[in-house]
């Protein structure tokens, strides 16, 4: 079974304006055509969410539902690199959350497990990888709370 990772975000303008922040992360590149490469992930793509998927993100996650309209996703290419890939994804997520602290975004595994979530009022970080990747704690400008984000 493959493992997919996604960063969901709300983008009122061109998505290229937001994802350009990812280029500051080692192992990540997004060109002017919107082609994304994230080391450790295969088949990386940037997708606009249709109305049905937007409603799923707002309604199906209980109190963690957030209004997002874009997804950047890819499939884990090598399980031996998982901690490097997770750290890279947290760095991408932090780049967006720090640049746009009042806008919705989330980092998820397989579209069902939250690893991190940002809204205008809170930044939540899952404890799942904190011991294995302690640098996660220092990536964010906004103060954050630890949460398993069960819904």
Whole-number pLDDT of residue 63:
75
Q: For 50-82, what is each residue's pLDDT tens digit?
A: 999 999 888 887 677 789 999 999 999 976 688
Whole-number pLDDT of residue 131:
87
| Domain locations along the chain | 4-146
Q: Is 90 helix (H, G, I), strand (E, B) or coil?
A: helix
Residue 2's φ and ψ, nearest 5 degrees, are: -85, 155
Q: Note whether 6 and 73 are within 8 A (CB).
A: yes
Q: What pairing do the DSSP bridges indicate for beta strands 145-146 and 36-38?
A: unpaired
User: Does residue 136 carry a pLDDT above 80?
Assistant: yes
Q: How far apart are CA 76 and CA 60, in angstroms?
A: 25
Q: How far apart are CA 71 and CA 45, in angstroms?
A: 8
Facing residues of 116 across strands?
107, 125
Q: For 4-25, what is each residue's pLDDT tens digit?
A: 999 999 988 778 778 888 889 9
User: Does residue 146 carry a pLDDT above 90?
Assistant: no
Q: Note whether 106 and 117 are within 8 A (CB).
A: yes
Q: For 40-52, what is each residue's pLDDT tens digit?
A: 999 999 999 999 9
Determine which of 60-64, 87-91, 110-114 has the lowest per-residue pLDDT on average: 60-64
Q: Which CATH class is domain 4-146?
A: alpha beta
User: Does residue 34 carry a pLDDT above 80?
Assistant: no
């Amino acid at each position: 079974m493959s493992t997919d990772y996604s960063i969901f975000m709300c983008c009122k303008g061109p998505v290229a304006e937001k994802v350009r922040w990812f280029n500051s992360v080692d192992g990540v590149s997004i060109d002017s055509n919107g082609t994304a490469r994230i080391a450790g992930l295969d088949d990386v793509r940037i997708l606009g969410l249709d109305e049905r998927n937007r409603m799923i993100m707002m309604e199906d996650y209980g109190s963690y539902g957030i209004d997002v309209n874009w997804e950047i996703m890819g499939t884990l290419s090598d399980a031996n690199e998982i901690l490097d890939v997770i750290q890279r994804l947290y760095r991408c997520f932090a780049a967006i959350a720090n640049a746009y602290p009042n806008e919705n975004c989330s980092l998820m595994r397989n579209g069902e497990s939250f690893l991190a979530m940002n809204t205008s009022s809170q930044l939540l970080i899952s404890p799942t990888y904190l011991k294995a990747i302690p640098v996660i704690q220092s990536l964010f400008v906004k103060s954050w709370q630890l949460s398993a984000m069960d819904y």
